[in-house]
Amino acid sequence: MRITNKMISDNVFLNIQSSLRRISKLHEQLSSGYKVKYPSDNAVVATRASDIMTRLREITRFKENIDHVQTYVNAYDSAIQKVSSLVQRLRELLVQAANDTLSQDERRAIAEEMEKINENLVEIANTRVGNEYVFGGYDAFTPPVRREGDEWKIMIPPEASKKRYILALGHTVEYGVTADEVFRLPDGRNIFQVIDEAVKKLKTEERVSRWISEISLKNLSIFEENVMKVIGEIGGTSKMLEMIGSRLEDLNFFFTEYLSKERDADITEVISKLTTEQAVLQAALKSAAHVLQLTLVDFVR
């Protein structure tokens, strides 16, 4: 086969172009940090990387939801712990009040402290996170406990008095606690009304020991049992969120590492290859200078 000058020059230019393409690809890997950036680089790896990135976005969203719910659960826990503390003090006051030998001034002092406790309980029931009332159920922008006439009432619509929930990793996590669940007694009244009733008795009647013992302390015990039940539920929810959050952290680490192995370039290896390719290109250019045929232009001075 006859080799012509044109065939030599075409082959030289083809080799130089191939070398330049390899250098360009290595330079792009070095600057982007990815060995597979487009499906044309490696369709199988690119597809896997796309699936992993989708999974990582889901995990990120789940983590954001868990963090959001944890904020509410912490607010519930803090509020209910305060309620528990106030209940203990309320019990002490009622036990003191169940003594008919107390003077009118002593009964009035107990009644005034109970009024303050009742105000604190109402304030806790209307706890807010941002602009949302955490004990309001799905009616989160309206105070769940409001004054109506001379009584404190829980004003949550039946359709709003439900637990909130989120979905994460196939789990349904319920986390909402409403004022009805915490502050309402089985007979339909709420603890605020019970306290108000006891306060009125202490202020207006002298012999209230039997009524305090049989009515007020009994209702307080029922309320206390309710509070302890809610504390247990909140603790269980917090533990569940902690377990899911830990699992999400593990998955995030695993998929991030997997994605890095699939997609990221080995910078040291890329630099080594790039140096080699640049040396090859320089050698090809020098070789071409000797191989390509001279023309009349080379002799023009």
How many of the other CB atoms lie within 10 Å of CB of 33?
13
274 belongs to a structural domain: no
Q: In whole angstroms, what is the distance from residue 113 CA to residue 121 CA? A: 12
Under 8 Å between Cβ of 277 and 19: yes
107 belongs to a structural domain: yes
Q: In which domain, by residue range, is 91 found?
A: 52-258
pLDDT digits (tens, 9 = 90+) for 96-114: 888 877 888 888 899 999 9
Residue 169's pLDDT band, with cuts at 50, 70 and 90, is confident
82 belongs to a structural domain: yes
38: buried, middle or exposed (CB in 10 Å: 19+, 13-18, 0-12)?
A: exposed
DSSP letter, residue 296: G
Q: What is the mean pLDDT of residues 149-178?
A: 83
CATH number, position 90: 1.20.1330.10
Two tokens at 14? 């083809």
179 belongs to a structural domain: yes
Q: What is the mean pLDDT of residues 262-287?
A: 75
Residue 171, beta-bridge partner list: 168
Give the strand pairing for 171-174 and 151-154: unpaired
1 belongs to a structural domain: no
Q: In whole angstroms, what is the distance from residue 45 CA to residue 263 CA? A: 7
Higher pLDDT, 198 or 266: 198
115 belongs to a structural domain: yes
Average pLDDT, the chain: 83
Q: In whole angstroms, what is the distance from residue 184 CA to residue 177 CA? A: 12
In the predicted structure, residue 296 carries a pLDDT above the cut 60 = no
215 belongs to a structural domain: yes
Under 8 Å between Cβ of 288 and 16: yes
Of 103, 86, 91, the closest CA to residue 216 belongs to: 91
Residue 89's pLDDT band, with cuts at 50, 70 and 90, is very high
Two tokens at 225? 């049992």
43 belongs to a structural domain: no
Under 8 Å between Cβ of 258 and 65: no
Of 90, 84, 79, 62, the closest CA to residue 177 belongs to: 79
Of 35, 61, 63, the closest CA to residue 49 belongs to: 35
Total domains, the chain: 1
